[in-house]
């Protein structure tokens, strides 16, 4: 257990972090009416990282909104959620984006969805609602989810102009050429090199956070599984952990371990798919044929273990929905042995290809200082020196009982982002073997007591892309009052913008693939 750094910070900031309350993995503290500013320098100077800021509408019961600033510190296993009130009479909060660019979208999303104004934001335009939307704030409690908005007349977004001789603009999307999610990219190019990239996201905004507020807990698990379809089990687990914490329930050891195995299988199949996709984008199609065949092996194993190739319908609040027989576990290990041999062969092929290495090395560089400033997480962060992994830093499921290495590289190019994945696949195999060899007998699920209204809980999971968190407040009758979802993709889009600069247009697909961010997870 790491020392309680936040306790020290609390002592150092008398009167600024009041009403200290301990949750399962998080601490809540109340900020004064003046908000976050007075305590910000103390927090940042002591080495905290700000992971997010999000809002909650409490105008009904408490006549105010709240902002929650989420911090973590390498010397504390807990998260700190510092809460600031925002009055309904003056719905304004101080923007920190000028100093902390990582909060840029977080603050603008709050503006769009809650109608609170981020005062002093360097670029306060809409981000989560498109420009052609009327003036609505969907996450306010007085906005009905069924509101029928008038027909839109098309996107009116004004991009930064592309001016100068020989400089022109390439618009791409929202419908892309491949089998991928929709979004709009606007490239400014001078000949081949990209000067800058502007993104327009939220094409697949589905009102998911609002939808959570309509569902009872057991149904909401399925919604959590559909936040980002390739991360069903990670998001499902993050959600169920939050419910379990709010209910004050512990899940059985067997369930913790089964979840760990499935979380790692999700990492393996996605990483393997990405390795193949990166190879394709530099013309090494045979490598992709093998990689996608290997991914298929894991998808088949997923189905054997859970009934679903994408691991759906398995996690539940209280554990997992089905048990495994001894044979299923042996089968799992057998498939992984086969996978490992084949994976080594695949990497031999890729490593032996000089032309592949040539295309990947020094392509799409994200420098470590930029990655730190932009708050980049997950694979993209670790390839650029950001040594962070929720599994190690804030253990959940059975991660406290296994040891594993967290690969970190400094060069921040496509090659390193691929290498992080390769290393992680190997670590995942070791984790699964360790956990499966030590699977305790006993129950795989407990029945949760009804979750008390107003209970709040935070939960974090290292999805295969990076840090996922969910924050919930329960309502009456086992329903949710609020569910905040943060997918790692939401943090990481600025990394793509940064990494493509100066690269040639034909390298864009492989740079984009090397991050492989989730549009649905971003847009929700």
Contact residues toward another protein (CB under 8 A) are 130, 136, 138, 143-149, 152, 154-155, 174-175, 177-182, 202-208, 210-211, 215, 218-219, 221-223, 226-230, 232, 273, 286, 289-290, 292-293, 295-296, 299-300, 303-310, 312-313, 321, 345, 348-349, 352, 518-520
**How far apart are alpha carbons 435 and 432 in whole angstroms?**
5
Instruction: Look at residue 470 and give its three-state secondary structure.
Output: strand
- Please state the closest distance from residue 85 (CB atom) to another protein, in A: 27
Please, which residue, 148 or 441, has the CB nearer to another protein?
148
- Please state the closest distance from residue 136 (CB atom) to another protein, in A: 7
CB 375 within 8 A of CB 491: yes
CB 431 within 8 A of CB 425: no
Of residues 223, 245, 228, 212, the one with CA closest to residue 396: 245
Instruction: Look at residue 172 and give its three-state secondary structure.
Output: strand
- DSSP letter at 205 equals -
- Please state the closest distance from residue 3 (CB atom) to another protein, in A: 40
Contacts of 74 (CB under 8 A, 6+ apart): 2, 5, 47, 393
- Please state the closest distance from residue 134 (CB atom) to another protein, in A: 10
Contacts of 127 (CB under 8 A, 6+ apart): 105, 108, 109, 112, 201, 202
CB 514 within 8 A of CB 414: yes
Element (H or E) spanning 315, and its range? strand 315-316
**How far apart are alpha carbons 8 and 13 in whole angstroms?**
9
- Please state the closest distance from residue 522 (CB atom) to another protein, in A: 11
Please, which residue, 13 or 270, has the CB nearer to another protein?
270
Please, which residue, 226 or 401, has the CB nearer to another protein?
226
Please, which residue, 309 or 479, has the CB nearer to another protein?
309
CB 442 within 8 A of CB 254: yes
CB 392 within 8 A of CB 405: no
* Count of beta carbons in the 10 Å neighbourhood of residue 373: 14
- Please state the closest distance from residue 477 (CB atom) to another protein, in A: 13
Please, which residue, 306 or 491, has the CB nearer to another protein?
306
Please, which residue, 138 or 378, has the CB nearer to another protein?
138
- Please state the closest distance from residue 484 (CB atom) to another protein, in A: 17
Please, which residue, 178 or 191, has the CB nearer to another protein?
178
Please, which residue, 96 or 208, has the CB nearer to another protein?
208
Of residues 216, 239, 215, the one with CA closest to residue 227: 239
Task: Report the DSSP beta bridge partners of residue 117.
Answer: 92
Please, which residue, 260 or 522, has the CB nearer to another protein?
522
- Please state the closest distance from residue 162 (CB atom) to another protein, in A: 22
Peptide bond into 174 cis (omega under 30): yes
- Please state the closest distance from residue 274 (CB atom) to another protein, in A: 12
Please, which residue, 37 or 137, has the CB nearer to another protein?
137
Please, which residue, 89 or 177, has the CB nearer to another protein?
177
- Please state the closest distance from residue 126 (CB atom) to another protein, in A: 12
What is the end-to-end Cα distance of the chain in Å, rounded? 35
**How far apart are alpha carbons 158 and 424 in whole angstroms?**
41
Kindly state the tokens that stand for 244.
């379990």
CB 416 within 8 A of CB 495: no
- Please state the closest distance from residue 286 (CB atom) to another protein, in A: 6
Of residues 495, 489, 422, the one with CA closest to residue 274: 422
**How far apart are alpha carbons 244 and 236 in whole angstroms?**
12
Kindly state the tokens that stand for 412.
């921040």
- Please state the closest distance from residue 321 (CB atom) to another protein, in A: 8
Residue 491 to residues 61, 111, 321, Cα–Cα distance (Å): 32, 17, 32
**How far apart are alpha carbons 138 and 87 in whole angstroms?**
18
Strand bridging mode 76-87 / 26-30: parallel
Please, which residue, 1 or 177, has the CB nearer to another protein?
177
Kindly state the tokens that stand for 416.
């390193």
- Please state the closest distance from residue 360 (CB atom) to another protein, in A: 18
Please, which residue, 21 or 293, has the CB nearer to another protein?
293
């Amino acid at each position: 257990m790491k020392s309680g750094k936040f306790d020290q910070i609390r002592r150092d900031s008398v009167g600024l972090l009041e009403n200290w309350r301990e949750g399962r993995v998080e601490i809540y503290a109340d900020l004064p009416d003046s908000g976050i500013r007075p305590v910000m320098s103390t927090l940042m100077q002591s080495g905290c990282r700000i992971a997010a800021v999000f809002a909650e509408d409490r105008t009904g019961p408490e006549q105010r909104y709240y902002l929650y600033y989420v911090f973590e510190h390498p010397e504390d296993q807990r998260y700190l959620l510092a809460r600031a009130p925002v009055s309904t009479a003056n719905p304004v909060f101080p923007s920190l984006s000028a100093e902390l660019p990582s909060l840029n979208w977080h603050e603008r999303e709050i503006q769009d969805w809650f109608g609170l104004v981020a005062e002093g934001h360097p670029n306060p335009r809409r981000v989560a609602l498109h420009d052609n939307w009327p003036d609505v704030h969907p996450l306010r409690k007085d906005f009905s989810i069924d509101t029928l908005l008038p027909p839109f007349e098309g996107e009116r977004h004004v991009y930064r102009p592309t001016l100068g001789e020989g400089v022109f603009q390439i618009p791409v999307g929202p419908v892309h050429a491949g089998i991928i999610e929709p979004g709009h990219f606007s490239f400014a190019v001078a000949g081949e090199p990209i000067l800058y990239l502007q993104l327009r996201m939220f094409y697949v905004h589905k009102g998911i956070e609002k939808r959570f507020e309509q569902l009872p807990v057991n149904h909401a698990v399925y919604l959590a599984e559909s936040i980002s379809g390739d991360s069903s089990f990670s998001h499902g687990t993050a959600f169920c952990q939050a419910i379990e914490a709010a209910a004050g329930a512990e899940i059985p050891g067997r369930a913790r371990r089964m979840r760990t195995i499935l979380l790692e299988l999700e990492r393996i199949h996605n990483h393997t798919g990405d390795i193949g996709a990166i190879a394709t984008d530099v013309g090494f199609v045979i490598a992709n044929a093998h990689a996608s065949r290997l991914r298929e092996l894991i998808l088949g194993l997923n189905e054997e273990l859970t009934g679903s190739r994408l691991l759906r319908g398995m996690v539940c609040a209280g554990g997992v929905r089905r048990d495994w027989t001894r044979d299923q576990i042996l089968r799992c290990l057998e498939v992984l042995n086969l996978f490992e041999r084949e994976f080594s062969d695949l990497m031999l092929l890729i490593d032996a290809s000089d032309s592949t290495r040539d295309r990947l090395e020094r392509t799409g560089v994200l420098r470590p200082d930029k990655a730190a400033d932009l708050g980049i997480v997950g694979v993209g962060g670790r390839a650029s020196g950001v040594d962070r992994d929720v599994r190690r830093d804030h253990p959940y499921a059975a991660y406290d009982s296994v040891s594993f290495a967290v690969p970190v590289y400094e060069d921040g190019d496509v090659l390193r982002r691929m290498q992080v994945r390769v290393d992680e696949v190997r670590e995942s195999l070791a984790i699964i073997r360790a956990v499966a060899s030590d699977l305790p007998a006993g129950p795989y699920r407990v029945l949760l007591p009804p979750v008390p209204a107003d209970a709040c809980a935070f939960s974090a999971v290292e999805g295969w892309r990076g840090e996922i968190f969910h924050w919930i407040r329960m309502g009456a009758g086992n329903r949710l009052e609020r569910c905040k979802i943060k997918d790692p993709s939401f943090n990481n889009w600025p990394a793509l913008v940064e990494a493509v600069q100066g690269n040639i247009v034909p390298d864009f697909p492989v740079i984009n693939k090397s991050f492989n961010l989730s549009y649905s997870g971003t847009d929700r």
